[in-house]
């Protein structure tokens, strides 16, 4: 099955354009659907994490395509934070004050911004300014800068 970009949410954020998938469209894509007749590359790395976090409406799978990706679709995760979708790297995080541990979305992964080498440093600096979330269980401080957390 082919998914058209006309049926996706087009977002211009964090210095680039990406297309955000609904949860249903994400399932189709990860099951092997193409997008605009092209099969995206490197989705295996996202697939395992997706099965863990797909129940949350604030985290989505997205694709980007530009000169720096050699005009191929490349997958990423985005989290809805401060009224916009933001690029995130999903990592395991821990609370420093209680026993909570779970998935977090951090914008502080330089690899998220290499799609735009001229702006990568500025984009990374902007990500540092995003207000981090607290522990979803006790409201304590997390060990990583998170703008999305798995529910406690």
| pLDDT (0 to 100) of residue 101 | 96
**Domain tally for the chain?**
1
CA distance 78 to 60: 5
**pLDDT tens, position by position, 42-96:** 788 788 888 777 878 899 999 988 777 677 888 899 999 999 999 999 999 999 9
The better pLDDT of the pair 11, 70 is held by 11
> CA 6 → CA 2, 75, 76, 124, distances in Å?
12, 17, 19, 30
Q: Which domain holds residue 76?
A: 2-149
Cα distance from N-terminal residue to C-terminal residue, the chain: 36
Q: Is the pLDDT of residue 152 over 60?
A: no
CA distance 142 to 134: 6
Query: In this structure, are strands 16-20 and 59-64 parallel, antiparallel, or unpaired?
Result: antiparallel
**pLDDT tens, position by position, 81-129:** 999 999 999 999 999 999 999 999 999 998 888 878 888 899 999 999 9
Q: Is the pLDDT of residue 29 over 60?
A: yes
Per-residue three-class SS string for the chain: CEECHHHCEEEEECCEEEEECCHHHHHHHHCCCEECCECCECCHHHHHHHHHHCCCCCEEEEEECCHHHCCCCEEEEEEEECCEEEEEEEEEEEECCCCCEEEEEECCCHHHHCCCCCCHHHHHHHHHCCCCCCCCCCCCCECCCCCEECCC
């Amino acid at each position: 099955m082919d998914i058209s970009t006309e049926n996706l949410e087009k977002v211009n954020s964090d210095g680039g354009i990406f297309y955000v998938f609904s949860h249903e469209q994400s399932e189709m894509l990860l099951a092997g659907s193409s997008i605009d007749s092209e099969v995206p590359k490197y989705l295996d790395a996202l697939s395992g994490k997706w099965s863990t976090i797909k129940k949350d409406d604030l985290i989505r799978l997205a694709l980007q395509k530009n000169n720096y990706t050699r005009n191929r679709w490349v997958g990423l995760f985005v989290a809805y934070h401060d009224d916009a979708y933001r690029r995130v790297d999903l990592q395991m995080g821990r609370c420093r004050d209680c026993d909570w541990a779970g998935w977090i979305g951090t914008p502080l992964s330089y690899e998220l911004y290499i799609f735009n080498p001229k702006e990568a440093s500025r984009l990374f600096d902007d990500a540092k300014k995003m207000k981090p979330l607290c522990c979803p269980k006790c409201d304590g401080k997390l060990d990583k800068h998170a703008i999305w957390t798995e529910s406690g």
